[in-house]
Homo-oligomer: A and B are copies of this chain.
Amino acid sequence: MRKLINRSEAIVDEMIDGYLAAYGDYVSRVEGRRVVTRAVPKESGKVGLVIGNGSGHEPIAVGWVGRGMLDANALGEVFAAPPPDLILEAIRAADRGAGVLLLISQHAGDVLNGEMAVELARAEGFEVEVLLMYDDISSAPKGSESERRGAPGTTFIYKIVGARAEEGADLTELKALGERVRDQTRTLSAAVAPGISPLTGEPMFSLPEGEIFLGMGVHGEPGFRRMKGATADEVVAAMMEGILDDLPFEAGDEVLAFVNGAGGTTLMELLIVYRAVAKILGARSLRAYKPLVGEYVTTQEMAGFSISLCRADEEMKRLWDAPVAVPFYHR
């Protein structure tokens, strides 16, 4: 037994039970459904921010429901998009009369089910807009950005749009802001060792000992390049080259920088990785604003990390730094 669970079919419900038992001062549950909402309902007139996503990537997204970030999260089975009716339930719970922005991290099932939920919600009279989020440069070439997958750089959107929603911005403005952040964001990931599926108890993919896979997705989607026996500095250098060239980022730009741990990589390593990121940013005359390092978007205990950069304007910086009060996001 590698996983500390009871029954694989009960994982999501028991996780939600545990979350409410521990953090009931922050979050509530829609009775009988896998939908987590804020414990203290927000005031009317605020746009509701909602996401549905597969479980198994915690703390995202369930850990980010609360003031300054999300209003509701629909939790799918492990690594599976939630069904449309569950996302609809989250939209109902999040609506306070000012409409709902449904965030969708771009993966086939999430897009399909999210769009069906939007149709159902509109048929019920809800005002809903969709923000498609994609940032993973390894998943489609430059010029085809809108075909890319969602990756940990979506964190910039949750935080920045969440902060602006709290300030009372309307649905049109929030969607445009989210698109602006998305279009300035680039992410690349590296996998060092697989995570273990809590459903099967087996590793989610295989990787030869000592090799690092660049470009792997958050569900173990294949990457594009293998490196062997490389130091942290060498891996980061290869990744930063791809990221910086893609937007491209240019000397003098100010960037939000985020090093995310995939689950089994220690904070010690993530900080050594960020050291290398910071050196390259400095050498390229890019300025980092309040960087974030930690384990936020995981693939179970997969070892690996991602680097995300967002070219930031003054409004984005202000909102990145705005107060937030959720159990599992803190800078």
Interface positions of A (Cβ within 8 A of B): 1-7, 11, 14-19, 21-23, 25, 55-56, 58-59, 63, 192-193, 198, 209-210, 212, 228-233, 235, 257, 259, 263-276, 278, 288, 290-295, 298, 300-301, 303, 305, 327-328, 330-331
Contacts and interface: CB of A to CB of B under 8 A. Distances in A.
A278 B4 contact: no
Contacts of A331: 327
A272 B330 contact: no
Contact of A298 (B267, B305, B327, B328): B267
Contact of A21 (B55, B56, B275, B327): B275
Nearest to A227: B1
B272 A15 contact: yes
B265 A15 contact: no
One complex includes copies of this chain to the number of 2
A268 B11 contact: yes
B18 A63 contact: no
Nearest to A210: B1
A327 B331 CA distance: 6
A303 B193 CA distance: 14
A331 to B, nearest CB: 7
A269 B11 CA distance: 8
B327 A58 contact: no
Contacts of A295: 295
A60 B275 CA distance: 19
B291 A22 contact: yes
In the A-B complex, the 5 residue pairs with the smallest Cβ-Cβ separation, listed nearest first, are A18-B275, A18-B271, A330-B330, A21-B278, A58-B267
